[in-house]
Structure 1
């Protein structure tokens, strides 16, 4: 729920206009008592208008009652300021909270005309009251919609940053953990293998730092992304592509997981799809390394005329439910969806292991 504020300048204008509109009418006061009552109502109305921002419902009620009193004493005095206050109150507060003010406004602006038997004027004031309240409520609804859109944009950006940060760090950190554990296991019995594992850990750490720096440059960039192709990818920051898949599978091979990479087909693949394919394969292999207790994995990338198929399967026997924890599978599905494709993940039918398969469009179909 948004909270609207009435600027001080607008409150000053309302007070000045209300007093200026009332003073000429006071010259027609038939008696000192009527003049005194009119001055009290005018002052009360001005004070309520000044406090309208902090107390919109009470202020609107005072203004409406004062307007009704002035109309009763001075038939030529119209309820103009009442319509402005009704519209303002409907803008300041939610519609459900101002319905009773609308009812009070109908009574206050149309009641004096009904008492005098001026039915045409009463109908006119009734329509004006409904119109004023509708304008205020509509302005508030538009403001709330803009706030909701901005809030949704912020949440989507946070989700994108969380997904990208997860993609950048999860793989390399998992590799570092596995290599460090392997080094610890053979530290005394085979120092040479331990040193090799530590070197691979260092390489993975440096890779993580490089990718993290690129990610932070993207997030902190003051200028807009270099998106000449219109696919939402910032080419100013280093982004992995299909050409980087062999390096990714080689890195996984250093952890003891044998990864076979098969690439079929030839054709132009949009930059954004290449980045998405790399991240999907990276996350799928990371899940295999962390959860599957697998010895081998196979990566298939097949490029067709209008779409490409990406499949990652392993022979693991770890709990399949662990693969769905955290941001991993959700992030892969979201990437595939944003690229206009689909992704399926689950246990392999009829045999051990887990499979992730995605279909991503590479060009528009006619």
Structure 2
């Protein structure tokens, strides 16, 4: 099974591999040859050694062909120079096991055992053959282990990128979906009463402008958190400069009253109830706020509800959020990102979220349980 890891030698490691290969085959320049006259034997030994070193530069680009060529050259060089050990072959095998999946590199292990042990056995050198068998197994295991470690590290990096993308998408959806929905409804209301009641039309337009400014401020705050390595910008001018928007802090449970007010002004009366005075961590408060925001946004956009109720209950170890409406219900699965994003927020905190039609009202009910542990104030 492929692990998806694509191994590539860096220029520094490529140079180190070439240098190591040259050192390992250098004794072929002076060691005695066998089976040929001295001069032709020396020329052939140097040619075989130089050819193996030259091939190392392409080991990660064409690993199968390079490994096969090095193994063949090493077997011939051992027969020609019996006192020269097959050290280069072990380096190549280790690199090949790192460059290719284990299932594919096993053939290289078998070929290496044949290439390094065969000539020694033909020459009756049993002890070196046994040592080189053990070295072959060690080299292959080391390379395969290095590949597994590199593949795991790369998979963790990919997963971190995917999780960050999901977080960014979730935050953008939560910020923009709510604000744009309110702006669209307010703009439609202004258009409906523009001729018969200009005062109400202007009021709706002002609320649309306020929602747009709020969205810009939240987006600026969110982008600053994404660009964590960016330097802090200089202080912004105050409201006297309409072109600037101060980035507010992340919303908390204390901001639910303001959130409920925007939905009431948009035509969806919302009742907010609180139970408990504990103070959850900022991450729990942000998730609870976003879940309420997204649930009410879905109600405003899709449910045709006359009213909605929000209950926030905080205990010493858990925050519970319930949002129910009297609209026309809907699918607990949905086709967009809203319910999925709310559920992801709850799961990231170790909690749960259910979203389903509410038998009591005939509408829809979203219930989230967000666990948290209060600080003990002790130092460990």
SS of residue matched to 1:324: coil
Q: Cα distance, 1:19 vs. partner?
A: 4.0
Note the alpha carbon deviations across 1:64-95, whole angstroms, 9 max, x for none. Answer: 11111122233222211111111112122222
Out of 271, 279, 289, which is 1:268 matched to?
Answer: 279
Q: Which moved more, 1:44-53 or 1:131-140?
A: 44-53
Contact 1:218 1:237 in 2 (8 A): no
Note the alpha carbon deviations across 1:255-274, whole angstroms, 9 max, x for none. Answer: 11110111122222222221
Q: Which moved more, 1:129-138 or 1:344-353?
A: 344-353
In structure 1, the partner of 2:175 is 168
Q: Which moved more, 1:337-346 or 1:244-253?
A: 337-346
Q: Cα distance, 1:305 vs. partner?
A: 3.3
Instruction: Tell me, in whole angstroms, the C-alpha distance in 1 between the residues paired with 2:259 and 2:58.
Output: 66
Aligned ranges 1:215-364 → 2 under 5 Å: 215-222=222-229, 238-317=249-328, 320-321=330-331, 324-363=334-373
Q: Number of matched residues?
A: 355
Note the alpha carbon deviations across 1:246-286, whole angstroms, 9 max, x for none. Answer: 11111100111110111122222222221111111111100
Superposition RMSD on alpha carbons, in Å?
2.4
Instruction: Tell me, in whole angstroms, the C-alpha distance in 2 between the residues paired with 1:334 and 1:79.
Output: 55
In structure 2, the partner of 1:71 is 78
SS of residue matched to 2:30: helix
Out of 101, 107, 116, which is 2:114 matched to?
Answer: 107
Contact 1:342 1:359 in 2 (8 A): yes
Distance 1:257 1:70, change over 3 A: same
Note the alpha carbon deviations across 1:200-223, whole angstroms, 9 max, x for none. Answer: 111111111111111112112326
In structure 1, the partner of 2:202 is 195
Instruction: Tell me, in whole angstroms, the C-alpha distance in 1 between the residues paired with 2:248 and 2:260.
Output: 22
Q: Cα distance, 1:342 vs. partner?
A: 1.5
Out of 134, 137, 145, which is 1:130 matched to?
Answer: 137
Instruction: Tell me, in whole angstroms, the C-alpha distance in 2 between the residues paired with 1:131 and 1:164.
Output: 49
In structure 1, the partner of 2:16 is 10
SS of residue matched to 1:266: coil
Show structure 1 runs of 5+ residues with no match: 226-235
Q: Cα distance, 1:9 vs. partner?
A: 1.4
Q: Cα distance, 1:120 vs. partner?
A: 3.0
| TM-score, L = length of structure 2 | 0.86
Q: Which moved more, 1:185-194 or 1:295-304?
A: 185-194
Contact 1:180 1:197 in 2 (8 A): yes
Q: Which moved more, 1:24-33 or 1:182-191?
A: 24-33
Q: Cα distance, 1:39 vs. partner?
A: 3.4
In structure 1, the partner of 2:239 is none
Note the alpha carbon deviations across 1:227-253, whole angstroms, 9 max, x for none. Answer: xxxxxxxxx961111111111111100
Q: Which moved more, 1:134-143 or 1:264-273?
A: 264-273
2:104 paired with 1:97 = yes
Contact 2:67 2:96 in 1 (8 A): yes
Instruction: Tell me, in whole angstroms, the C-alpha distance in 2 between the residues paired with 1:201 and 1:11.
Output: 65
Instruction: Tell me, in whole angstroms, the C-alpha distance in 1 between the residues paired with 2:81 and 2:220.
Output: 74
Show structure 2 runs of 5+ residues with no match: 233-246
In structure 2, the partner of 1:232 is none
Q: Cα distance, 1:224 vs. partner?
A: 11
Contact 1:215 1:237 in 2 (8 A): no
| TM-score, L = length of structure 1 | 0.90
Instruction: Tell me, in whole angstroms, the C-alpha distance in 1 between the residues paired with 2:73 and 2:373.
Output: 68
Contact 1:26 1:38 in 2 (8 A): no
Q: Which moved more, 1:307-316 or 1:236-245?
A: 236-245
Note the alpha carbon deviations across 1:98-142, whole angstroms, 9 max, x for none. Answer: 222211111000001222233332222111111111111111111
SS of residue matched to 1:251: helix
Distance 1:92 1:294, change over 3 A: same
Contact 1:240 1:278 in 2 (8 A): yes
